A = this chain, B = another copy of it.
Amino acid sequence: MRTINVAAAQMGPIQKADSRDEVVARMLALMDEAKRAGADFTIYPELALTTFFPRYCMEDKSESDIWFEKRMPNEATAPLFVRARDYAMAMSFGYAELTPDGHHFNTSIHVDATGKIVGKYRKIHLPGHSEFDPERAFQHLEKRYFEPGNLGFPVYRTMGGLFGMCICNDRRWPETFRVMGLQGAEMITLGYNTPTVNSQKPAEGLEERLFHNRLVVQSGAYQNSAWVIAVAKAGNEDGHPLIAGSLIVDPDGKIVAEATTEEDEIIFHACDLDACTFGKTTIFDFARHRRTEHYGRIVEQTGVIEPPEGSDVSGF
């Protein structure tokens, strides 16, 4: 048994006017609750420090840069690092990162129980669009505010296991989980901010969005025989609802814990990393079963290439 006592720290809404200090105070309260329950590892959502600002179209960089962190830790987040170290608690959270050389990323970090940043990930699959879109019910400007991540999907050793991270829309892409599975990932953490309504399809509402969240998280876990911890920022942010439904999923793809509110809420599970071994050595023993000679298109082409018209074959 290599048990990690996991606390998925779902966060309720963060309003545009809320300060970093107010948000960090909520995160500390969640960490206290996680500690009382015996957690080793607390995971917060994507962009945990701010409202989900890609819904706002800002023309001016200096206006949008207020949502970004220039250093990590910084003055606002230092109390999280201090308390986690005092608790000998690992943690992970997401934030908007502005690098010293002016690059913008949607980033998450994994901090170990001594306060060291041992893992860093920058979101690769940015959803949405880059310019104001009058056709949408609301904006989703991630492609405007962020560059695609440049660190790949790294898997790192910590806490006696192999860990990886992804963020929100990454979870819909099986390539995300597979690239980490190919590095032996045993636990993958991810945060998300997912609008309750599809901005381009009003009929797709809460239940369907929760269904898709479960579907992709569960299949990613099963197909790579890894624990997946999916943590929402949820609830109504200044009139814009986000789904909740934070999940802890085992390496068989089964949900072992699921949030029941749209507020700040901890869900716990004692996750045994050794539970990954059966799947990784039998049905998903990649070395024995994968057939890479037939996977070339996955890397060689980005978009769809349909078979040519008039290529109907016959006479096999």
A residues sitting closer than 8 Å to B (CB atoms) are 72, 109, 112, 116-120, 124-127, 148-149, 152-158, 162, 169, 172-175, 178-179, 181-184, 200-201, 208, 211-212, 215-216, 218-219, 222-223, 252-254, 278, 280, 282-292, 294-307, 309, 311-316
A179-B294 in contact (CB<8A) = yes
Query: What chain B residues lie within 8 Å of A152 (beta carbons)?
Result: 294
Which residue of chain B has the shortest Cβ distance to A170 in the bound complex?
Answer: B291
B286-A118 in contact (CB<8A) = no
Query: What chain B residues lie within 8 Å of A278 (beta carbons)?
Result: 200-201
Which residue of chain B has the shortest Cβ distance to A289 in the bound complex?
Answer: B125
Report Cα–Cα, A100/B211, bound state, in Å: 48
Closest 6 CB pairs of A and B: A287-B303, A174-B174, A219-B219, A184-B306, A116-B314, A120-B316
Query: What chain B residues lie within 8 Å of A306 (beta carbons)?
Result: 155, 162, 183-184
Q: Which of B156, B301, B309, B313 contacts A312 (CB 8 A)?
A: B156
B286-A303 in contact (CB<8A) = yes
A222 with B218, Cβ < 8 A, contacts A116-B314, A116-B315, A289-B127 known: no
Query: What chain B residues lie within 8 Å of A182 (beta carbons)?
Result: 297-298, 301, 303-305
